[in-house]
Amino acid sequence: MEDRDVATPIQVKDYQAVNIRDWIWRRMCAKVWWSAILFYWVGMILSLRVDALAIFYHSAFAGVANIFFFPPIVMLILSFGYINACIGQIDFDETVYPEVDFQQDRDWYGPSGMLREFDPLDPSSGALWIGNPLNPLNGAYINRHSS
């Protein structure tokens, strides 16, 4: 009798289902698809002179194949996989940003929370300051240009 460890499970490789999105952007598949497009459209041009090809290209199957071999559609489909492959190579590490000095931000705003240049309660806003005699909202405002 063989000495065998019964507690050791049999090693079974995990089967991973292949999605269409994983399969469609392989360099070889993309090259085969683009070369098939070339042959399809060259055949369509030749069908103007060769009657046997004209019969095929007037069939319903050629109409369906026209969708799969239409270059803008193929470019759209292959671009998703290509962009996914490119983004997969990028390392998206979180960058640490330096501490923001909130005192500096407070210096930009006046007492009412508006920017200092436009805050009517801040004297550094110039003629917009409510206490400025040139401001029409000031009680001491004198309209020098009355007609």
pLDDT value for 45 = 94
Give residue 1's identity as a one-letter amino acid code: M
For 33, the token pair is 């698809």
Q: Is 25 helix (H, G, I), strand (E, B) or coil?
A: coil
Q: Does the pLDDT at position 4 exceed 50?
A: no
Q: Does the pLDDT at position 29 exceed 60?
A: yes
* Rounded CA separation 147/133 (Å): 20
More confident residue, 22 or 50: 50
pLDDT value for 109 = 79
Q: Does the pLDDT at position 1 exceed 50?
A: no
Q: What is the DSSP letter of 126?
A: G
pLDDT value for 60 = 94
pTM of this prediction?
0.45
Q: How far is CA 141 from CA 105, 116, 119, 122, in A?
A: 33, 22, 18, 18
Read off the pLDDT of residues 75-118 as tens digits, 9 standing for 90 and up. Answer: 888 887 778 777 776 666 666 666 666 555 667 777 887 888 88
